[in-house]
Structure 1
Amino acid sequence: MSDPTLIWKTATEIRNLLAKGEVSPLDLLDALETRVSEVEPKINALPTLCFERARNAAKTLMEKPAEERGTLMGMPVAIKDLEAVKGVRTTFGSPIFADHIPDKSDIVVETLEKNGGVVYAKANTPEFGAGGNTFNEVLGTTLNPWNQKRSVAGSSGGSAAALASGTAWLAQGSDNGGSLRNPASFCSIVGLRPSPGRVARGPSGLPFGNLPVVGPMARNVADVAMMLDAMAGEHPRDPISLASPLRSFSDAVREQRLPKRVAFSRDLGCTPVDPEVARICEEAALRFESLGVTVEEAHPDFHDVQDIYQALRAEGFYMSRRKLLEEHRDKLKPEVVWNIEKALDYSLEDFTRVQLARGAYIQRAVDFFETYDLLLSPATCVAPYPVEQRYVAECDGHAFDNYVEWLTMAYAITLTGFPALSMPAGFTSEGLPVGLQVVAGPRGEADLLSAAGLLETAIGHAGAVPIDPI
């Protein structure tokens, strides 16, 4: 019989129980399978399950001595449906791949399994990760556990909803325009976008692309750090991948290193933000002052974020999806078609201008972090919106030009290449979650996680999940 009390423990607590031999990976899978049967019909976060595969992997792992079972020691992990898992249906949220079963796993899955992760489910995502609402024609719509009439955002919406509702302790996500951070904000969990290369990804047809990354999602900062320890490192098939640091990210959280001076911005100077969301995030950021940290209102110069990001996003979609458009146009959702074809609006001179502008953009951000240790802002411009809306069309009286512009708070940071996370900041008057974005300087994951762990305690919302969907 499964132990339902395990569901409510943190991933760090579960990992400690594994280390002591007080539970086994099979116990954890039993608890999850029971929880999934109770919760999944309400929210549809993990539409593809592979418990038999997971139990076989767990049994193989248990044959090894405890010290050889890796960082995660048999912790179950949910994988976003954009990453291939060998022998498991992987749809990318697209009718084109509705019956696709890969014969090889992606690098991030191999890395997690090598380090003791046990894959038991695929988490829902919008088609090819395009969009800030998690729905697709193959696997349906994921509903927000906090309010099933609201969106979980996207594109790592299934991962976030599973964490919030107790069907996952750890979940993998990916991020380009905020696909880790937006669902974390909407579900009151923690999602980390690491520096490009921190977590090896692919194999990819665009191996030097640095807008998309993969990263960890969990219920609190310490759990995210533990998962990042199991994901980070070099891989020969990812030419921009980075070596693992000498000290673990979990150690960084335990060290509790405070920043000296941080900046807060309500809107990063480049997007409208719902006033209630801005107020909640400002109050959360100012909790740093109680820890003796100077908090000032400031942000880098992001004035040309739209010009740069929209062009680079379109270029990436065109290079990676143009053949699908030629062969399966009728099976692609309109937002994906639009994003691929948008690249045709740009000339070589336009792309030259944009690349040079991004170089200047990054240098301005580097200059900013010579003054400030961290930058804090709302993770999203709104709280969870009605799930039937495909995307947010307007905010605070401003009408957005396209289906991704409402995600500006996130992709303004994506363009810098700096690590950023979303963590729980509070709740609206309707009881809807709001996330605080915390950004560090170049390759600053350790400092980011250490400071975020302290701020998490000061804010006091880390224990808010998991919840029973309402």
Structure 2
Amino acid sequence: MELSRTTASDLLNALSTRQVSTQEVMQQTLNRIGAVNQAANAIVALRDPDDLMAEARALDAGPNRGQLHGLPIAVKDVVNVAGIVSSQGSPIFKGHIPQRDDLIAARMRAAGAILIGKTNVPEFGLGSHTFNPVYGATANPYNLTRTCGGSSGGAAVALATGMVALADGSDAMGSLRNPAAWNNVYGFRPSWGRVPSEPVGDGFLHQLSTLGPMARSPEDLGLLLDVISGPDSRQPYGGAHPNIFPVKAADMRGLQIGWLDDWGGAYPFEDGIRKMCQDALSVFTQQGAEVVPVAPPIEAERLWDTWTTLRSWSVAASLAPLADQREALKDTAQWELDRGLTLTAMQVHQASVVRSEWFRRAAKLMRDYDALVLPSTQVWPFEIETPYPTEIAGQRMDTYHRWMEVMVPVSLIGLPCLALPVGFGVNGLPMGMQVFGPRGADARILSIGAAYHAVTGWPQKRPATP
């Protein structure tokens, strides 16, 4: 059973039927990490191999513990995991070993997963390029001189190279979707509230980011999504949701798919990206769906101004306890902190008004479409030494994250969104697109993805071999 191509669902089935032991899976996992991680630098803070093998033996000797029984998982390094260094990529927390699991890690552990270490992130998860002063940069496994994206970059690379079969991630401004596109895997941003965050600090106001799954198939996304979903009584939002796994492929006949393209010219793209996404849409039409061009439903600049206000406000709130160590933060974190601290209550309120308007417009638009589609990124994976793009197709970027503006329509209003791979450009690098729908349509979006995957199967056709 080759880990770089095997889905988590198939692997877990083999474990549950004793076709393979947890020890065998763990040994293959460690062998694969040993073979490729030095070049990719995706998994960090790896636990002692002897301890991992002992935990695998204990699981083999005991009863089945849940949906993830015996599956090795490396947890994104913005999540605290008991007994494993959890640094958030920051020198401030270098060597920090938590005493307890964050909620998402606790849920995966309770479902029988073996938490083997962490996946690399940008410092504090800021920016879609995975590098930090603690562990360094994570390379794109399809070209080691290029970025893998982020902030769930280590997770995407670990999946693409077969070091793990399933991974968790998080997404504020595309952190599940951009690295999925650049590593030929799937990432899913759930409806906001479906997967509860860690119950610390504010639980009412700062609602932009969400946790979510990454995998090599939409079915595997549904598997992990069920494990990490569900209400947490300590938090005011979210509630019970029906299980999604097993994910069944949608009957695409007669479905209406809206193509938003470049938002009426508002979003610049590097050459070839829009064409690749348009070509991928032909899979839907061949399956009987109708793909319809959609005009921009709201002005892009209004969304951008709203997003940057709410994001800086949220980031500054989370970084405020570190304000006295400001000089230890990377420059983009300092920028967000400084900007957020100058915002007035009425500026934040006005941004929330525009956000609410966009939610209402999107809800009306989606009555006419079963799903909407945008590209997953505006640029190809850039050089690993470049902190972030400053120009796209001759258009200057005025912030460190403007090059990810295509993510904002989904992120701003917490819609369920599947990032799926669309193949490889003439440069040999992967690309992807976003398929999204109304709040609560998680199962529908994943089923559309499953229909697409049944035809394309990109992660299994082109696994990364750095």
Whole-angstrom CA distance in 2 between matches of 1:132 and 1:433: 16
* Residues 57/110 of structure 1: CA separation in 2 closer, same or farther (3 Å cut): farther
How large is the RMSD of aligned CA atoms in angstroms?
1.7
Amino acid aligned to 1:48: A
What is the distance in 2 between the residues matched to 1:65 and 1:291?
43
Query: Displacement of 1:232 after TM fit?
Result: 1.4
Shift of 1:63: 4.4
- Asked if the contact 1:126/1:135 (under 8 Å) is kept, the reply is yes
TM-aligned CA distance change 1:88 to 1:363, over 3 Å:
same
Q: 1:355: how far off? A: 0.9
Deviation of 1:258 after TM superposition, in Å, equals: 5.9
Corresponding residue of 2:363: 366
Q: Gaps (5+ residues) in structure 2?
A: none
Shift of 1:255: 5.9
Offset of residue 460 of structure 1: 4.4
* Corresponding residue to 1:387 among 384, 387, 390: 384
Q: Does 1:180 align with 2:176?
A: yes
1:325/1:332 contact within 8 Å kept: no
User: Where does residue 195 of structure 1 map in the other structure?
Assistant: 191
1:88 partnered with 2:84? yes
Structure 1 residues 256 and 242 mapped into 2: Cα distance closer, same or farther (>3 Å)?
Answer: farther
Give the partner amino acid of 2:119: A
Is contact 2:249–2:449 with CA below 8 Å preserved after alignment?
Answer: no
Cα distance, 1:58–1:465 mapped onto 2, change above 3 Å: farther
Is the counterpart of residue 262 in structure 1 residue 260 in structure 2? no
Match runs of 1:24-423 below 5 Å: 24-50=21-47, 51-52=49-50, 54-66=52-64, 69-208=65-204, 209-245=206-242, 248-254=243-249, 260-269=255-264, 270-298=266-294, 299-303=296-300, 304-326=302-324, 328-423=325-420
| TM-score of the superposed pair, with normalisation by structure 2 | 0.95
Q: Equivalents in 1 of 2:107, 2:307: separation in Å?
A: 30
CA distance in 2: counterparts of 1:214 and 1:258, whole angstroms: 32
Q: Note the alpha carbon deviations across 1:40-91, whole angstroms, 9 max, x for none.
A: 110100021124554454444444433xx21122211121000000011000
Matched letter for residue 261 of structure 1: Q
Q: Does structure 1 retain, via aligned residues, the 8 Å contact 2:9–2:219?
A: yes
- The CA distance in 2 between the partners of 1:199 and 1:62, in whole Å, is 30
1:266–1:278 Cα contact (<8 Å) kept: yes
Could you tell me the percent identity over the aligned residues? 33
Q: Is the 8 A contact 1:61 1:74 kept in 2?
A: yes
Range moving further from structure 2, 291-300 or 148-157: 291-300
Alpha-carbon distance in 2 for matches of 1:59, 1:202:
31
Output the CA distance in 2 between the equivalents of 1:7 and 1:121.
Answer: 18
- Distance change (3 Å), C-alpha of 1:417 and 1:70: same
* In 1, Cα distance between equivalents of 2:254 and 2:339: 41
Give the partner amino acid of 1:324: L
Aligned residues of 1:418 and 1:439 also touching (Cα < 8 A)? yes
Distance 1:337 1:196 in 2: 27
Supply the distance in 1 between the matched residues of 2:391 and 2:24 (Cα, whole angstroms).
46
Q: For this pair of structures, how many residues does the alignment match?
A: 461
Task: Judge which range, 124-133 or 214-223, deviates more.
Answer: 214-223
Deviation string 1:91-142 (CA, Å, 9 cap, x unpaired) is 0000000011001110000111112222112000000000111000001100
Contact preservation (8 Å) 1:72, 1:117: yes
